[in-house]
Amino acid sequence: MPGRVAALVAFGGVMDMLANALYMVAAQQGPLSVVVTLSSLYPASTVLLARLILGERLNAWQVTGVGVRAGRGGADRERRPMTRR
């Protein structure tokens, strides 16, 4: 495996571990309804990063999905009371 690819793989692994650790901290420290709502946006971030970094084109379903999920994020948060048990 070329050195550049190995470095990219290692970077991806470190970022994945960091994301999992930050999710655990957020789930313990913040209201779970907010944490889950925000973490449900990860497919949208993947699609947007593919567009920005790789230059991939978004099809109509992807654009619709990102828009609906982004719009529903705020609506979900407003509807649920943010109480901690």
pLDDT digits (tens, 9 = 90+) for 19-30: 899 999 988 998
The tokens of 41 are what? Answer: 């946006």
pLDDT tens-digit readout, 1-60 = 888 889 989 999 999 999 899 999 988 998 888 888 778 777 777 888 888 888 888 889
- The answer to whether 76 and 37 have CB atoms below 8 angstroms apart is yes
How far apart CA 77 and CA 33 sit, in angstroms, is: 7
Which residue type is seen at 26? A
pTM: 0.55
How far apart CA 31 and CA 24 sit, in angstroms, is: 12
38 or 83, which is more confident? 38
pLDDT average, residue stretch 71-78: 58
Q: How much is the pLDDT for 11? A: 93
Instruction: For CA atoms 4, 6, 7, 13, give the dihedral sign.
Output: positive
